[in-house]
């Protein structure tokens, strides 16, 4: 059963229970009120009877006549009896053939007032003290008007109940459909999304209710899936494009070498060429794997606290080992009072890879000339600048240098694959940082990395 139908049934059931309880309460309240009102009428009749007939000697004829005119009209099926202390009838308002059970008379004497229902008939007895003696007055009648009103009330309540159920059914269907409309919309939109259009997103509505939260959650999941698909496609495309060249060169060299016998020197030359291509293949593979890792969600990283000043000092020592004769000068022009302000949260290995790539590029494109590194803390912002005096970059090419496999025209003379800066940018962005470049052709380049501490 669909949720829409379940909600409608639950809604109808709930309203039905409420209506039944309400109708029963109204009917019972009305019935109790009707019965009590009729008992009061019977009591009035009994008191009037006592006043008129038992105390007639004490009342003026004018008062007696006024009572008789006011209460001349008898109640339906009215029976009034007056009994003395010996249970003898001293007043009968109608045929003498009817008598109340002596037990009832005695009950009235004991309780002073006694009420009883028998079918549609109601009876009320009172104990009346008079100078002539103590009497029991019993009045009984049928409340035809009250019974008729209650029957009419039953019909009205039943008709109202059935009409309400019909209204509730259609209202429930309408409002359930209205409330679940966003679900239908989510379903419709989700059905349009496949592996070929993962860029599509669900409508997030007001972003406040539970359905909006569901849409937001699904959109986040779609974003992760899109990133995963893009990562896979990019990795396959990059691998197939870039790995083909060194592999083809290696295979070609081996095939040519095997066509005839070679001297030891010739074998050394071929092996050196193969070694060079294999090294290029190794660098490409590592670069592609690092590039793939940089596309991960920040929440999935192995995060730790990274002190950037200590990291730069470690990287300076590492560059000396990697590039013999290289010199890195580190300056700290603006430092915070609290050294922890130079700390960011992230993956230390990835951050080392990014900053090492920047330093390595600075030395590579400046022929191992001295590189200046400045680390400053300025208005809740950590700023790292790496300055070289290398070949520089054309202004028109600055916006493209972080694209995968892009290489500036003046960079082709240097070894490289065009992956480094693309990897750096992704790692910096992954750590909520900003990567900026300023360069003058023939004079050098300044690479700026910013991390906000707000």
* Cα 30 to Cα 75, 76, 124, distances in angstroms: 20, 20, 20
* Torsional class of 76: left (φ above 0), alpha (ψ -120 to 50), beta (otherwise): beta
Residue 218, classified by CB atoms within 10 Å of its CB into exposed (0-12), middle (13-18) or buried (19+), is middle
Residue 60 is predicted with a pLDDT of 47
Q: How confident is the model at residue 411, as a pLDDT?
A: 73
SS3 439: strand
Q: Which CATH architecture has domain 3-149?
A: 2-Layer Sandwich (3.30)
Q: What is the pLDDT of residue 76?
A: 84
- With respect to CATH, is domain 210-293 assigned 3.40.630.10? no
**426 Cα distance to chain centroid:** 32
Q: What is the largest CA-CA distance in the chain?
A: 160
Give me the helices (H) in 294-340, please.
Answer: 308-322
Say how far apart CA 143 and CA 76 lie, in whole Å.
7
Which residues are within 8 A (CB) of 74 and not within 5 positions of it... i.e. 6 or more apart? 93
Q: Which residue has the tokens 């103590």?
A: 134
Task: Please report the pLDDT score of residue 331 as a whole number.
Answer: 92
Of 177, 186, 190, 226, residue with least CA distance to 210: 186
Contact 142, 120 (CB under 8 A): yes
Torsion region of 392: left, alpha or beta (phi above 0 gives left; psi -120 to 50 gives alpha): left
Alpha carbons 391 and 440: distance in angstroms, whole number:
8
Q: Which residues of 255-281 are buried (b: 16+ CB within 10 A; e: fewer)?
A: eebeeeeeeeeeeeebeeebeebeebb
How many whole angstroms separate alpha carbon 125 and alpha carbon 105?
Answer: 8
For 348-390, the pLDDT digits (tens) are 877 888 898 899 888 888 888 889 999 999 878 999 999 998 8
Under 8 Å between Cβ of 372 and 386:
yes
Determine the angle formed by the axes of helices 210-242 and 264-293, rounding to 10 degrees. 170
Residue ranges of the chain with pLDDT lower than 50?
60-61, 64-65, 68, 72
- Token code pair at residue 214: 């569901």
81-104 per-position pLDDT tens digit: 888 888 877 776 655 567 788 888
Q: Which tokens belong to 418?
A: 């065009």
* Topology match between the domains 3-149 and 300-452: no
Alpha-carbon torsion (248, 253, 256, 261), positive or negative: negative
Give the whole-angstrom CA distance, residue 306 versus residue 309.
Answer: 9
At 386 the pLDDT is: 93
Give the global pTM.
Answer: 0.46
CATH of domain 300-452: 3.30.565.10
- The predicted pLDDT at position 50 comes to 76
Q: Where are the domains of the chain?
A: 3-149, 210-293, 300-452
| Among 355, 361, 368, CA closest to 320 | 368
């Amino acid at each position: 059963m669909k949720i829409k139908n379940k909600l409608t049934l639950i809604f109808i059931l709930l309203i039905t229970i409420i209506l039944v309880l309400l109708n029963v309460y109204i009917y019972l309240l009305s019935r109790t009120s009707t019965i009590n009102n009729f008992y009061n009428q019977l009591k009035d009749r009994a008191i009037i009877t006592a006043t008129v007939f038992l105390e007639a000697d004490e009342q003026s004829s004018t008062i007696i006549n006024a009572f008789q005119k006011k209460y001349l009209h008898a109640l339906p099926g009215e029976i009034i009896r007056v009994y003395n202390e010996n249970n003898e009838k001293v007043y009968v308002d109608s045929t003498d053939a009817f008598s109340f059970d002596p037990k009832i008379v005695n009950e009235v004497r004991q309780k002073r007032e006694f009420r009883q229902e028998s079918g549609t008939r109601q009876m009320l007895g009172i104990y009346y003290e008079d100078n002539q003696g103590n009497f029991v007055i019993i009045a009984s009648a049928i409340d035809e008007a009250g019974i008729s009103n209650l029957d009419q009330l039953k019909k009205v309540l039943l008709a109202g109940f059935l009409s309400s159920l019909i209204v509730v059914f259609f209202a429930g269907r309408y409002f359930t459909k209205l409330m679940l409309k966003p679900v239908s919309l989510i379903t419709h939109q989700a059905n349009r999304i496949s592996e070929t259009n993962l860029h599509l997103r669900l409508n997030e509505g007001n972003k406040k209710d539970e359905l909006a939260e569901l849409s937001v959650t699904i959109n986040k999941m779609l974003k992760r899936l899109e990133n995963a698909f893009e990562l896979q496609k990019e990795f396959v495309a990059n691998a197939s494009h870039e790995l083909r060249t060194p592999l083809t060169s290696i295979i070609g060299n081996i095939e040519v070498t095997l066509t005839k016998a070679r001297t030891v020197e010739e074998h050394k030359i071929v092996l050196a060429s193969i070694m060079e291509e294999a090294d290029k293949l190794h660098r490409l593979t590592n670069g592609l794997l690092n590039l793939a890792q940089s596309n991960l969600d920040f929440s999935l990283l192995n995060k730790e606290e990274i002190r950037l000043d200590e990291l730069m000092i470690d990287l300076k020592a590492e560059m000396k080992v990697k590039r013999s004769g290289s010199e890195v000068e580190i300056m700290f022009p603006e430092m915070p009072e609290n050294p922890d302000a130079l700390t960011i949260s992230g993956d230390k290995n990835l951050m080392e890879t990014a900053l090492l790539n920047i330093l390595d590029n600075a030395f590579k494109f400046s022929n191992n000339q001295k590189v200046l590194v400045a680390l400053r803390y300025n208005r809740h912002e950590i700023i790292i600048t790496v300055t070289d005096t290398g070949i520089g970059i054309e202004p028109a090419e600055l916006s493209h240098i972080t694209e995968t496999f892009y290489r500036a025209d003046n960079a082709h003379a240097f070894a490289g694959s065009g992956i480094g800066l693309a990897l750096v940018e992704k790692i910096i962005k992954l750590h909520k940082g900003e990567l900026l470049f300023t360069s003058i052709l023939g004079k050098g380049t300044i690479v700026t990395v910013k991390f906000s501490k707000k």
